Structure 1
Amino acid sequence: MISKSSIKHLRIPFSVFLLPIFLFALALSPNLDPTRLLLVFLSLHLFLYPSSNGYNSYFDKDEKSIGGLKNPPKVTKDLYWLAQSFFLIALLLGWMVSFTYACFLAVYGLVSMAYSHPSIRLKKYGWLSWFITGLFQGYVTFSMAYIGLSDLNWTVMIQSHVLLPGLCTSLMLWGSYPLTQVYQHEEDSLRGDRTISIKLGVLGTFLFSSLFFLGTSIGFAYFFYQKGQEPIIWVYLASMAPVIIFFFVWFSFVKKDRGYANFTWAMAMTWISALALNGFFLYYFFENTQILQVINQV
């Protein structure tokens, strides 16, 4: 029997926050196929990410707010098996795309399990978990989506046309990841998890993230510049403007009162970022694939 609490802990809507990585890979994939597109999307966003969310929730057993759940319900035994079932379905869908893509899903899933499993628990190592999370949710996810969508070999991930945009996505996540922990210091400390946000402190987290947001903007600007797409740089910067404005408004409140480093503000930041990035990468998909030009000519 699957409990309602277990379904909530899968946090399926939370997958929208990682959708920009998929859309970016989609925009750059040279060999799109509708069937592969559907399978890659479903395997990632409907099964792999929820599986990871549920598995981590099962071992964390959070009692206070977590990403996507302000008041997480009590974890039940069936959550573990539900998360593993979702992982298995993701692998089966991945196998229908290609063996290579399925292997990427497997590696991602196993690393995700290592993040919270008590025998390894990467989460308790602040800098290591920060690096691995940003690397896998960014560069590795971008690479496996690109490989799955285009039916390519894994070696493409070390080629410059995949490596550069993939690293840009990791820069983006290395900047945003500490902010998702800034309101969890008390509960993480009780479990002995020395997250990067705890190590940096509240104000240090905001300063650290601001540096990586700057690096992300420079990285994407360089990527579009070297592709001869200078106008896209301005579209990207305009899309990011609401995110940056909200970030600095939030930071200004936090400097006066640490109480503003809370779930509500963090989730607002996450939603604004998701809407801005999803909107931009959807636009870039239409622009880069020249679908907009075709539509305008019809």
Structure 2
Amino acid sequence: MAELHIGSTLAHLRLPFSLLLLPVYLFALGEVPSPNTFHALVVFIVLHLFIYPASNGFNSYFDKDEGSIALLKHPPKVSSSLYYTSIMLEWAGVLLALLVSLHFAVCVIIYNSFSKAYSHPSIRIKKYPMLSFLIVFLFQGAFIYYSCYHALSMGEAGQEAPVWMAGLVCSCLIGASYPLTQIYQHEEDARRGDRTLSMLLGVRGSFIFSAMLFLAGSCLLYYYWNTRDERANFNLYLICFTPVIGYFLFWFIRCMKDPAQASFGRTTVLTLLSGLFMLIYFGSLLFLH
């Protein structure tokens, strides 16, 4: 039985899913003029091996999904070990964050607090479509970018890179995928009493909302690189994201003909495709930098 609990806990931590948020860290790392190498390693470990998995596990414990969730087609039943593991990972991450700075540790605590409020039954921000979107939009994008940039630059203000604009780019690109990750869960979310953004928008509206936010993020990114006379970085962005845009349009057309195409499988393909090319893009920028 213990082994089953261990397997279930590891599955719900969704470590591969945490890597899909890696581009925000890579973007910040690439924009810091002279990053502290030790801090860079600790920040990566804290976020991607402790904080993100802890958030995934905590939310899974209270959601108790029976249907497919992000990267898990058949999620195993949750147990109390998942809850305690997520809490231990969370606070271990906070302690490790202190190796960087008190400021970074406070940022981690703030992120943890809003992450827990997202699914905890006493607050459950997830029930409110616009508020839940804004929490994900802000904290998985701009807030994490700011936290990483501040930690990696040792608190020095980014004169070469406007931190707020880069953070907003991250928020737009992450927010663009948010309703599409919920598009196949309408029935299960409704059973729990949650009203997600995708339910509010509908299938067609979810695609239109995502397209508009992606376009906004792309325009901001163009302005960001153009003001720094680095337009080649935006040209690389267009090349990297052409396959993602192509699949998005293909899936959108299929869903308009048959709403059943708004499925876990299609969502997973788009999630992995966009995550892969975001990693390629921001990883390439880091290498070039």
Compute the TM-score of the two structures, normalised by the length of structure 2. Answer: 0.96
Contact preservation (8 Å) 2:51, 2:89: yes
Letter in 1 for 2:181: T
Letter in 1 for 2:66: E
Give the SS at the match of 2:176: helix
Contact preservation (8 Å) 2:186, 2:199: yes
Note the 1:1-298 alignment, pairs <5 A: 3-152=6-155, 156=157, 161-287=162-288, 289=289
Distance 2:89 2:244 in 1: 32
The unaligned stretches of length 5 or more in structure 1 are 290-298
Distance 2:131 2:14 in 1: 25
Provide Cα deviations, 1:217-236, integer angstroms capped at 9, x if missing partner.
11111111011101111111
1:159 Cα shift? Answer: 10
Equivalent in the alignment of 1:295: none
Distance 1:30 1:55 in 2: 36
Provide Cα deviations, 1:138-170, integer angstroms capped at 9, x if missing partner.
0001010111122216xx599971000001111
Letter in 1 for 2:233: I
Contact preservation (8 Å) 2:50, 2:92: yes
Give the SS at the match of 2:178: helix
Give the SS at the match of 1:91: helix
Contact preservation (8 Å) 1:157, 1:163: no
Change (3 A) 1:214 1:30: same
Distance 1:137 1:236 in 2: 20
Distance 2:160 2:253 in 1: 41
Give the SS at the match of 1:35: helix
Counting matched residue pairs gives: 286
1:210 Cα shift? Answer: 0.8
Give the SS at the match of 1:194: coil
Contact preservation (8 Å) 1:31, 1:151: no
Distance 1:244 1:31 in 2: 34
Contact preservation (8 Å) 1:58, 1:80: yes
1:33 Cα shift? Answer: 2.0
1:62 Cα shift? Answer: 0.2
Give the SS at the match of 1:206: helix
1:3 Cα shift? Answer: 2.1
Distance 2:64 2:158 in 1: 36
Give the SS at the match of 2:66: coil
Distance 1:126 1:215 in 2: 20
Contact preservation (8 Å) 1:134, 1:170: yes
Distance 2:165 2:149 in 1: 13
The unaligned stretches of length 5 or more in structure 2 are none
Give the SS at the match of 2:162: helix
Change (3 A) 1:158 1:206: farther
Letter in 2 for 1:23: L
Letter in 2 for 1:11: R
- CA-based RMSD of the aligned residues comes to 1.5
Contact preservation (8 Å) 1:143, 1:157: no
Distance 1:139 1:159 in 2: 17
Letter in 1 for 2:52: Y
Percent of aligned pairs with the same amino acid: 43
1:92 Cα shift? Answer: 1.0
